[in-house]
Chains A and B, each alone.
Chain A
Amino acid sequence: MKYVDEFRDPELIERVAREIRRTVDPDYDYRIMEVCGGHTHSIYRHGLRDILPQNIRLVHGPGCPVCVLPMGRVDDGLSVAGQPDTILTAFGDMMRVPGTKGTPLEYKARGCDVRMVYSPLDALRIAQNNPEKHVCFFAIGFETTAPSTALTILRAKAEGVKNFSVFCNHVTILPAIRAILDSPDMRIDGFIGPGHVSTITGCRPYEFIANHYRKPVVISGFEPLDLLEGILMVLRQLRAGQARVENQYRRIVPWNGNGAAMRALADVFELRPYFEWRGLGFISQSALKIKPAFAQYDSEVRFELPGVRVTDPKAAQCGEVLKGVLTPPQCKLFGNACTPEHPIGALMVSSEGACAAYYKYVAKPVEA
């Protein structure tokens, strides 16, 4: 147990681990999906797989917003950076994600005005400070982040800012989970539900997974103890033949979510009929689009974007890893052609990407 000294309460961890061992059926191979990339990161960082019984496999889900963005969308966003008198702004996570002709950082090195921001409001501020330029914000993220973009667009409108638009790549997690459940090559016994997404959506939206697909969902926090408890709660439901939505992360996640944030989403966005996810293909009603009433803030309306589909480099198996069909080291490029220094896929860029986490904590383990 590599990171056990970092655990806040090793004894408590050991107690939950023991309880997990008592609860599992030794003759069954469990497949539990942690939906959120933050969970994936924590699982690798803390070596949780070494604590769990061998017959529990944690399958990494699609909950890393950078990782699920297809390369064609990255290219579309970057095509804005090439236009005269424009400034492209993006979160730090996007800066090293490769498009066909390079990463945002490489575009910047070539002389394009690409700037990293920590908040969509910073992008709006840049627009206000540079009235002679157009500022595009490359928006990514799940329900956790989308309300902030919505409020920023409302703010731009309220302040009459005319030189600001958003390239909207916000996605919603539930249709992706549904796609995974409907996929014939995937068997998942239960889910560790996302923590911070649920702060906004609440726990109700997951009920179809329990009611319709008969799979337990436990919304969990990110600490080792949270995750182990979440896994134990899933196992207990499975053992009792139940399927319910439970909230392990009650200290942060309210059952009903954040109403004001959900209203902001509904005010500014509508669902796209379909959207392409890397690895999962086109999923209907899985992404947000800026409503026509706010068209002047929609980069897809203001700019002519190429909108081409780009397939991933042939040997890259990001899609399979994203679906949990392969583990990171099973990708032929892992650790040789694709490393955090020279990433080929986004899963190797984002700290929430399975490949980056595996590379950092498992392939090159830090000595305890």
Chain B
Amino acid sequence: MCLAIPGQIVEFSPEQPLLAKVDVAGVKRAINIGLLADEPLELGDWVLIHVGFAMSKIGESEARDQLTMLAALGEDAQAMEEVRGYTFAP
């Protein structure tokens, strides 16, 4: 429920400024970045994703830590399933 999944921003979409494409362990999905309106985001930045929204910007090593943590908690498969399950963006 409270999964926070790290992903790296790989693409912005000019016509949809609230969306960004992220790469989560090889899976690419668009997520909503509206909650990070206060933070300038750039390609290559890492964010924590929760229910389809980026909820904070984090550093690269934090992102890798977070992936390890999800694996340690046995929640990595669930996290990937969640990311794959986002259907709101084309």
Tell me, rounded to whole Å, the shortest Cβ–Cβ distance linking A126 to chain B: 8
Residues of chain B contacted by A41 (CB below 8 angstroms):
73
Contact with B along A108-138 (1 / 0, CB 8 A): 0000000001111110110000000000000
Contact with A along B61-84 (1 / 0, CB 8 A): 010011011001111000000110
Partner pick for A264 among B35, B58, B59, B74, CB 8 A cutoff: B35
B51-A66 in contact (CB<8A): no
Residues of chain B contacted by A264 (CB below 8 angstroms):
34-35
B36-A260 in contact (CB<8A): yes
Contact with B along A192-203 (1 / 0, CB 8 A): 000111011000
Bound-state Cα–Cα, A141 to B48, Å: 17
Partner pick for A93 among B1, B34, B36, B38, CB 8 A cutoff: B1
Q: Is B10 an interface residue (CB 8 A)?
A: no
- Closest-by-CB residue of B relative to A257 is B56
Partner pick for A148 among B52, B66, B83, CB 8 A cutoff: B52
Bound-state Cα–Cα, A54 to B64, Å: 34
Given contacts A37-B1, A196-B4, contact A251 B59 (CB under 8 A): yes
Given contacts A36-B2, A45-B73, A261-B35, contact A145 B56 (CB under 8 A): no
Tell me, rounded to whole Å, the shortest Cβ–Cβ distance linking A311 to chain B: 25
B62-A252 in contact (CB<8A): yes
Q: Is A254 an interface residue (CB 8 A)?
A: yes
A8-B68 in contact (CB<8A): yes
- Closest-by-CB residue of B relative to A125 is B88
Tell me, rounded to whole Å, the shortest Cβ–Cβ distance linking B78 to chain A: 8
Q: How large is the interface on B (under 10, 10 to 19, 20 to 34, 35 or more residues)?
A: 35 or more
B36-A91 in contact (CB<8A): no
Tell me, rounded to whole Å, the shortest Cβ–Cβ distance linking A129 to chain B: 10
Partner pick for A196 among B18, B50, B89, CB 8 A cutoff: B50
CB < 8 Å A-B pair total: 129
Tell me, rounded to whole Å, the shortest Cβ–Cβ distance linking A253 to chain B: 8
- Closest-by-CB residue of A relative to B82 is A118
B48-A91 in contact (CB<8A): no
Q: Is A166 an interface residue (CB 8 A)?
A: no
Bound-state Cα–Cα, A230 to B69, Å: 16
B1-A252 in contact (CB<8A): no
A66-B52 in contact (CB<8A): no
Q: Is B32 an interface residue (CB 8 A)?
A: yes
A121-B4 in contact (CB<8A): no
Tell me, rounded to whole Å, the shortest Cβ–Cβ distance linking A47 to chain B: 13
Given contacts A145-B50, A252-B62, A259-B38, contact A64 B1 (CB under 8 A): yes
Partner pick for B51 among A8, A36, A120, A142, CB 8 A cutoff: A120
Residues of chain B contacted by A38 (CB below 8 angstroms):
2, 73
- Tell me the B25-58 residues at the A interface (CB within 8 Å): 32, 34-38, 48, 50-53, 55-56, 58
Interface residues of A (CB under 8 A from B): 6-8, 36-38, 41-42, 45-46, 64-66, 91, 93, 117-122, 124-125, 140-142, 144-145, 147-148, 151, 155, 195-197, 199-200, 221-224, 251-252, 254, 258-261, 264, 350-352
In order of increasing CB-CB distance, the 6 nearest A-B pairs are A119-B52, A121-B88, A118-B85, A260-B37, A125-B88, A148-B53
Interface residues of B (CB under 8 A from A): 1-2, 4, 18, 32, 34-38, 48, 50-53, 55-56, 58-59, 62, 65-66, 68-69, 72-75, 82-83, 85-89
* Given A121-B89, A251-B65, 9 more pairs with CB closer than 8 A: A38-B2, A45-B74, A64-B1, A120-B51, A142-B2, A148-B52, A199-B48, A199-B55, A251-B62
